[in-house]
Structure 1
Amino acid sequence: MAIVIETENLSRVYTTYQKPEGFVNSLRGFINRKNISKVALEPTTLKIESGQIVGLVGANGAGKTTLLKMLSGLVTPTSGDAKVLGYRPWERKNEYLRQISILLGQKNQLWWDISPADSFSLLARIYDLDVKKARARVDHLAQMLHCTHVLHTQLRRLSLGERMKMEIIGALLHEPQVLFLDEPTIGLDIVAQETIREFLDEYVKEKSPTVILTSHYMDDIAKLADKLLLISKGNIVYEGTVPDFVTKSNAELAQNEEVDFEDVIRRFLETESRIR
């Protein structure tokens, strides 16, 4: 398989100003500023092959979203290099942006006050897609997600699960080769989570995009991911398959089919957090 995503010592450090308490101290801060540096991602080297679903797992603040934002071009790295489909993401070339998509589970990309169908029509024009083909694609994706009945309902009137399905359709409208999904099932009920999992599994088999998926629901990772990346305090601490991870980190339970993957992940990350 071809290498689609490749990074070399990619890192990101954020520098912020520490504002002192009180009016007088704030005035002094204009003259003598105190800056704080926070490492969001340590130098990271990765290679991801085409057609894979990669599960990116870590605690809040571990660096998952920072990595996705750099690979999608939303954030420029402090140091290192990366190539996605042969492009440097932060150069934001149109040829690159037409081939990728990023979905942030806690942010909307569709317009709040119009129907999803109208949003998709606008997106089709933004991506310069054939309107008829775009509509047919929307219908096909909506049937796969069982949400055809809400395509013409104002987005703000939809449930969280229905809105997320609409966001997924919008992210896939231009048939991206690389898809970054940051917690697409966050806050959803069990039925909606399972529907989206089944859809992603079927969609990847049908179109073979490369997917990086972050989630705090370990069922998403265990059922979908071909490859697992564990990140702790900005460092990739494990790279491999889910079964290999369970075997290596839980050797005494490896023969037990009832091993709780979520519990293994939790204990592993707690240990890493103490070590680091």
Structure 2
Amino acid sequence: MSFVIETKDLSRVYQTYQKPEGFLNSLRGFFNRKYVNKVALDKTTLSIEPGQIIGLVGANGAGKTTLLKMLSGLVTPTSGDATVLGYKPWERKNEFLSQISILLGQKNQLWWDISPADSYALLARIYDLEPEAARKRVAYLAEMLQCSHVLNTQLRRLSLGERMKMEIIGALLHEPKVLFLDEPTIGLDIVAQETIREFLDQYVKDKGPTIILTSHYMDDIAKLANKLLLISKGNIVYQGTVKEFVKKANTGMAENEEVDFEEVIHRFLETESRVR
């Protein structure tokens, strides 16, 4: 079986300076520094098939964004190995970068003071896309996301939901085979969240990319994910489908008892946190 993403014992450890309290202690620490190692991601092994949406769930600081940044080549691992589309991400070869995209929900990739349409024209030049083909793709994506009417408005004048739709179009402009989405619906209203969910679901059916999606909105995961990855304190503690996870986590419940997926996830992560 061919996998689009594979990792073997992938890990990332950050070394931070432990600053003592007080001026004199800080001065002494300048000459005799003490460091603390923080494990952001611990020996992670994954195999992900193409054409799936993978839901990556965990508490703040669990290691979700670190994993995405390593798989996209933004961060170099401390140890272990990984391949995405057959490339080592941290080598950042142009052939690799032209086939992936990463969207961080709280960071802009488009230019703040110009319209999204002008940003897309610049991105088309960066990705060496044919201008007319790029314009047609923008129009197609904007129609799917129901935001064609704001393509020529300055980005800073748009609502949060409209800006996120613009960012998604920018991330998909070069038709990446792998897309990393970190909290794409954070802070959005219910209507915008649903529009983006429906778009991602249809886009994967039409174009077949592989998407790794992180979200604190469990509806995003429950409605979109083919596979669920739960991460706790840098460790992947569950890999499988949402349905299998709910069934496993609620073995003691009656068959006809309604299950709240968000509550199940909360209980699971809370238990893992105590154990670890």
- Which amino acid in 1 is paired with 2:118? D
Alignment pair present for 1:211 and 2:237: no
- CA deviation profile, 1:41-70 (whole Å, cap 9, x unmatched): 010000000001100000000000000000
Alpha carbon RMSD of aligned pairs, Å?
0.9
| 8 Å contact from structure 1 (residues 10, 82) kept in 2 | yes
- CA deviation profile, 1:82-138 (whole Å, cap 9, x unmatched): 000000000000000000000000110000000000000000000000000000000
1:243 is matched with which residue? 243
Alignment pair present for 1:162 and 2:123: no
- CA deviation profile, 1:211-236 (whole Å, cap 9, x unmatched): 00000000000000000000000010
Q: CA deviation at 1:27?
A: 1.5
Q: CA deviation at 1:238?
A: 0.4
Give the secondary structure class of the aligned counterpart of 2:231.
strand
1:50 is matched with which residue? 50
- Which amino acid in 2 is paired with 1:272? E
| 8 Å contact from structure 1 (residues 246, 254) kept in 2 | no
TM-score when normalising by structure 2: 0.98
The count of aligned residue pairs is 276
Q: 1:179 to 1:232 in 2, by over 3 A?
A: same
1:197 is matched with which residue? 197
Give the secondary structure class of the aligned counterpart of 1:21.
coil
CA distance in 2, matches of 1:79, 1:127: 31
1:18 is matched with which residue? 18
- CA deviation profile, 1:182-209 (whole Å, cap 9, x unmatched): 0100000000000000000000000000
- Which amino acid in 1 is paired with 2:195? T
Give the secondary structure class of the aligned counterpart of 1:228.
strand
Q: Structure 1 regions of 5+ residues with no counterpart?
A: none
- Which amino acid in 2 is paired with 1:153? T
- Which amino acid in 2 is paired with 1:77? P
CA distance in 1, matches of 2:22, 2:239: 47
CA distance in 1, matches of 2:53, 2:208: 9
CA distance in 2, matches of 1:14, 1:101: 25
Q: Structure 2 regions of 5+ residues with no counterpart?
A: none
CA distance in 1, matches of 2:109, 2:174: 14
CA distance in 2, matches of 1:254, 1:219: 23
- CA deviation profile, 1:156-206 (whole Å, cap 9, x unmatched): 000000000000000000000000000100000000000000000000000
1:181 is matched with which residue? 181
Alignment pair present for 1:259 and 2:259: yes
| 8 Å contact from structure 1 (residues 12, 42) kept in 2 | yes
| 8 Å contact from structure 1 (residues 247, 254) kept in 2 | no
CA distance in 2, matches of 1:256, 1:220: 24
CA distance in 2, matches of 1:162, 1:61: 28
2:150 is matched with which residue? 150
CA distance in 2, matches of 1:152, 1:252: 55
Give the secondary structure class of the aligned counterpart of 1:239.
strand
Q: CA deviation at 1:23?
A: 2.2
- Which amino acid in 1 is paired with 2:228? L
Q: CA deviation at 1:254?
A: 6.2
- Which amino acid in 1 is paired with 2:120? F
- After superposing on structure 2, the runs of 4+ consecutive aligned residues of structure 1 that deviate more than 6 Å are none
Q: 1:257 to 1:3 in 2, by over 3 A?
A: farther
CA distance in 2, matches of 1:256, 1:160: 40
TM-score when normalising by structure 1: 0.98
Q: CA deviation at 1:256?
A: 3.2
Give the secondary structure class of the aligned counterpart of 2:252.
helix
CA distance in 2, matches of 1:119, 1:143: 18
1:123 is matched with which residue? 123
- Which amino acid in 2 is paired with 1:179? L
